[in-house]
Amino acid sequence: MDNHLLQTAGQLFLDSQRVLLVSHIRPDGDAVGSLLGLGLALQAIGKDTQMILADGVPKSFRHLPGSDQIHKNPEGNFDLVVVLDCSDIQRVGPVLDGYPQPDLNIDHHITNLNFGRINLVDTKAVSTTEILAEHFQVLGLPLTRPVAATLLTGLITDTLGFRTANMTPKALRIAANLMEAGANIYTLYQQALFTRSLQAARYWGSGLATIQLEDRMLWATLTLKDREEANYPGRDDADLINILTTINGVDVALIFIEQKNNKVKVSWRAQPGFDVSEIALQFGGGGHKPAAGAEIEGSIEEVRIKVLAATRDLLNGKIKY
């Protein structure tokens, strides 16, 4: 990343007194981690900060230092506005309505629109916290122990524990630096990635008991009854799909999740070489090549028959891409 840009950003931090920091709706570990990492570091050099997430802090990240300082709406005036981990400004939700263009846009998404006055965008970074950690010194920020913990959390969650296809040697070395700055990888990993409720685990159980494999297509079904019996509060699959994709010999995994009002949510996950977003699109949904979803009218049996037929066509090479 351009050193001049970094120095300009560092000067902005120095010259500011009231800093507004914002990240995206439905926040993940990198949203919360980058927000807290930068916010706590700015506090450590004497700045007033407001850290904002339109949807608040998810339960699974409330152990992080400073998370109780995150609010849902900004109040008052600021002389610096920083947006973290957002590819476009809409991702922050309504919290910046009425504010001018953000001063700083710090992000790692390849789709970033460079919407800030200054854009620190590195699409090779595995997380926004990796960008912060790499350049903390040039930015004039102190890597304290709480800051290191929040930054390492973003790195762990966005890489699902150092195992995504975009992993780099640099990301591992930065994780090592954050450990040396005091972040406990064992505890943070547990807290960030292993936060299953009893209800979610029971709900998983009912789904796993139903799985079927046909050639290299695997599917599971979660009914409204399963959800009630497990007392699971969500409308989703509780991330069961991530277990399905780790089963041997599977090219495409699907989950059918029964909804109220005669609808079924369908999720697809595929190995490299398949494009499930095409099928999701056929059914009015969307997504990416390896991961897609749709909500489809019909009973669970009807939807399953139609969707499995379309997915079979994909696997049989009838859909080219």
> Contact between 224 and a second copy (CB under 8 A)?
no
> Contact between 173 and a second copy (CB under 8 A)?
yes
Integer Cα distance of 88 and 251 in angstroms:
32
> Contact between 223 and a second copy (CB under 8 A)?
no
> Contact between 194 and a second copy (CB under 8 A)?
yes
Q: Which of 47, 63, 202, 306 binds a second copy (CB under 8 A)?
A: 202
Please say which residue, 82 or 156, places its beta carbon nearer to a second copy.
156
Find out whether 264 and 295 touch, Cβ atoms under 8 Å: yes
Q: Which of 118, 179, 291, 315 binds a second copy (CB under 8 A)?
A: 179
Site residues for a second copy, window 110-169 (CB under 8 A)? 161-165, 167-169
Residues in contact with a second copy, shown as a per-residue x/- string from 249 to 288 under the rule CB under 8 A = x---------------------------------------
Find out whether 15 and 54 touch, Cβ atoms under 8 Å: no
Q: Give the N- to C-terminal CA distance of the chain in Å, as an integer.
A: 34
Integer Cα distance of 25 and 159 in angstroms:
19
Q: Tokens in use for 321?
A: 């891409």
Backbone φ, ψ for residue 56 (5° rounding): 75, -175
> Contact between 244 and a second copy (CB under 8 A)?
yes
Please say which residue, 104 or 178, places its beta carbon nearer to a second copy.
178
Integer Cα distance of 278 and 19 in angstroms:
43
> Contact between 248 and a second copy (CB under 8 A)?
yes
How many angstroms separate the Cα of 195 from the Cα of each of 65, 112, 124, 127, 190?
17, 30, 28, 20, 8
> Contact between 5 and a second copy (CB under 8 A)?
no
The H or E element containing residue 161 is none
Integer Cα distance of 293 and 282 in angstroms:
11
Question: What minimum distance in Å lies between the beta carbon of 119 and a second copy?
Answer: 28
Q: Which amino acid is at 277?
A: S
Please say which residue, 13 or 219, places its beta carbon nearer to a second copy.
219
Question: What minimum distance in Å lies between the beta carbon of 275 and a second copy?
Answer: 19
Dihedral-angle region of residue 275 (phi above 0 means left; psi in -120 to 50 means alpha; beta otherwise) = beta
Footprint on this chain of a second copy (rule: CB under 8 A) = 161-165, 167-170, 172-173, 175-177, 179-180, 185-186, 189-190, 194-198, 201-202, 204-211, 213, 218, 243-244, 246-249
